[in-house]
C-alpha cells in the first residue's frame, strides 16, 4: 500500500467514530477521540484519533487537525501519568503498511511503560471489556 492511498470510510476507526463498533472511551470532544486499545501492550494503552480528519496517515492530515490530535496525545499522556504512575510513556505512530500501520486512519498509540512489566506484542491478546472499562475510569479520573 502506498502512503498516498485513499481514505476508506469503512475502516475500523471510522466505524468506531460513527458508533457502529463499540469502544471504551477515555475522552471525546468535537475533534478527537481517546479510547482504550482492545489489544493493549501494557496497562492503560490508549488510542488517540481524529474524528474530523479523513486522513490515512501523518502525510495527508490537515495541520490544524494534527495539532488537535497532538493535544489529545498530550492529554492522554498527562492523564495516564497522573492516574497510573507509569515509569514512562511511549507514543507510537505508524505510517504505511511497511512501517507497521494496520488501520489506515491517522492515529497515535499512548502506551504507559512499567519497569517491572514487559510489553505485550500488539494484537496478541484482547483485554476483557470490564478490565478496559475499569482502566478507562482510572484514567478519566486523571483528567481532572
pLDDT of residue 122: 80
pLDDT of the chain along its 144 residues, tens only? 347 688 999 999 999 999 999 999 999 999 999 999 999 999 999 999 999 999 999 999 999 999 999 999 999 999 999 999 999 999 999 999 999 999 999 999 999 999 999 888 887 789 999 999 999 999 999 887
Q: Where are the alpha helices (DSSP H) in the chain?
A: 12-17, 63-84, 129-143
pLDDT of residue 2: 47
pLDDT of residue 89: 98
Active site residues: 107
| Total-model pTM | 0.94
pLDDT of residue 118: 86
CATH number belonging to domain 12-143: 3.30.428.10
CA–CA gap between residue 14 and residue 21 (Å, rounded) = 9
Question: What does residue 17 show for φ and ψ, rounded to 5 degrees?
Answer: -60, -40
**What is the phi-psi region of residue 36: left when phi exceeds 0, alpha when psi lies from -120 to 50, beta otherwise?**
beta
CA–CA gap between residue 39 and residue 119 (Å, rounded) = 12
pLDDT of residue 33: 98
pLDDT of residue 1: 38
| Every domain of the chain and the residues it spans | 12-143
pLDDT of residue 6: 87
Q: What would you measure as the largest C-alpha separation in the chain, in angstroms?
A: 41
Amino acid at each position: 500500500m502506498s502512503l498516498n492511498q485513499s481514505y476508506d470510510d469503512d475502516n475500523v476507526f471510522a466505524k468506531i467514530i460513527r458508533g457502529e463498533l463499540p469502544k471504551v472511551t477515555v475522552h471525546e470532544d468535537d475533534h478527537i477521540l481517546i479510547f482504550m486499545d482492545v489489544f493493549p501492550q501494557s496497562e492503560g494503552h490508549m488510542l488517540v484519533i481524529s474524528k474530523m480528519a479523513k486522513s490515512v496517515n501523518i502525510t495527508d492530515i490537515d495541520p490544524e487537525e494534527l495539532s488537535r490530535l497532538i493535544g489529545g496525545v498530550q492529554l492522554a499522556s498527562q492523564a495516564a501519568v497522573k492516574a497510573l504512575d507509569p515509569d514512562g510513556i511511549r507514543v507510537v505512530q505508524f505510517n504505511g503498511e511497511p512501517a507497521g500501520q494496520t488501520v489506515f486512519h491517522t492515529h497515535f498509540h499512548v502506551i504507559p511503560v512499567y519497569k517491572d512489566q514487559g510489553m505485550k506484542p500488539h494484537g496478541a491478546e484482547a483485554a476483557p471489556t470490564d478490565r478496559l472499562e475499569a482502566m478507562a475510569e482510572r484514567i478519566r479520573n486523571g483528567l481532572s
